[in-house]
Amino acid sequence: MNLIGKRFGKLIVLQMIKHNKAFCMCDCGTKKIILKTSLTRKKRPTLSCGCIHKEDLIKRNTTHGLSKTRGYKTWLNMMKRCYDPNCSSFEDYGLEGIKVAKCWHNVETFLKDMGQPKPKMELDRIDCDHGYSPWNCRWATKKQNQLNRINTRWVIYEGEEMCAMDCAKLLNIPYSSFLYKLNNNNGRLPCTEIMAKLQN
């Protein structure tokens, strides 16, 4: 059955790919490839790119009087990163398989577990290989959050491992210059070698 031009909820089929996949556009503007059987099945068919689920979540979680709090805004940004294809961070979170524990799809449960953040505190995943959950999240400072990222650079300083940014500050070296030399010396050098290289 050719589905081109047909509508399924918020989705319109633009093109068929082989015999079992449909290239669709959602009313929200997102384009997505969806299995033909997911569109045509009678029980729980796919009716959007995922934005209906996001809209329902937001609707269910805006009757609590929390929408102006920092905790709510943090929760909303977390959900968007993981489930909204239009979010600028979705590629680094949702597309990478980072999910939010089902119990945290309710903002009140999230705030019951985490509490409201103190000023300048951010939501941080303790283990970056796992998603957002009560057992893998904490409120952390911006610096703690940055140090916990997968792409944080580390060096050996006097036999001890430390992040590249802190090492550059300690040596009073511009971070950009420090990284340039670091990238050209296999990334992990004793402090004395780093200083010698930078002085040349």
Query: What pLDDT score was predicted for residue 171?
Result: 76
- Measured between alpha carbons, how far is 179 from 187 in angstroms, rounded to an integer? 8
Query: What pLDDT score was predicted for residue 189?
Result: 52
Each residue's pLDDT expressed in tens, for the chain with a length of 200 residues? 778 899 998 899 999 988 889 999 998 888 889 999 989 988 888 888 887 777 666 666 665 667 788 999 999 999 998 988 888 888 888 888 889 999 999 898 999 999 999 888 889 888 877 899 999 898 988 766 665 554 566 666 666 666 666 677 777 777 677 777 777 665 545 455 555 555 44
Query: What pLDDT score was predicted for residue 152?
Result: 60
Domain ranges of the chain: 1-49, 51-147, 154-199
Query: What pLDDT score was predicted for residue 190?
Result: 43
